[in-house]
A and B are shown apart, each in its own frame.
Chain A
């Protein structure tokens, strides 16, 4: 399995500001994913980030709001831009590895926007 770390683990931010979340993996992976988990809800895929190409965003998510970088095979960042209270969620980084499409998740970043 892959070991994934995220920074920060939590943050409280003011409306209108931006926060960049970092995701570090202990091995090289092709596919990295960013998810949002709103309070009490299941996970929603924001985008897929493959190294060397633009991230692919899901319906309802746009690059201007959630810019993503993927500079190498072990690292990615997600920025939550121009935040509002509705962006208060847990943001999780995830990677796909193994022979059976196993997907592993980081510990998450708990974001509160005031």
Chain B
């Protein structure tokens, strides 16, 4: 079945550091890929998406590129802020199956001054 694997956290960075959170997936067909963010005490927000190979999703300074050859969708940001501290979830929907959203385990990011 479909699956998503994320790097384990927590990830601790200083403000203005470069961020990478790795995400790889296993799926048949051509899934759509997503990053969600969950700030402390809140629900999930859709951060960005990519629907086909080589698409780049971007939002709020975050970017991720859909790499079919490496089945990856790594999240990057050039300069993190304290306000980026949250849990980040990689996810996919495979339109070839019952359209269920499959999540990774989440990666906690802590940004310090």
- A residues in contact (CB < 8 Å) with B: 1, 31, 33, 41-43, 45, 48, 90, 92, 94, 96, 100-108
Contact B100 A100 (CB under 8 A): no
Q: Number of contacting residues on B, CB 8 A?
A: 20
Given the complex, which residues of B lie within 8 Å of A90, measured CB to CB?
43
Secondary structure of the A side of the interface? strand
Known: A42-B89, A43-B89. A104 touches B103 (CB 8 A): no
Alpha-carbon separation in the docked complex, A31 to B100 (Å): 11
Interface of B, helix, strand, loop or mixed by DSSP: strand
Using CB atoms and an 8 Å cutoff, list the residues of chain B in contact with chain A: 32, 34, 36, 42-46, 49, 51, 89, 93, 95, 99-101, 103-106
Q: Are B101 and A103 in contact (CB under 8 A)?
A: yes
Please give the distance in Å from A57's CB to the nearest CB on chain B.
13
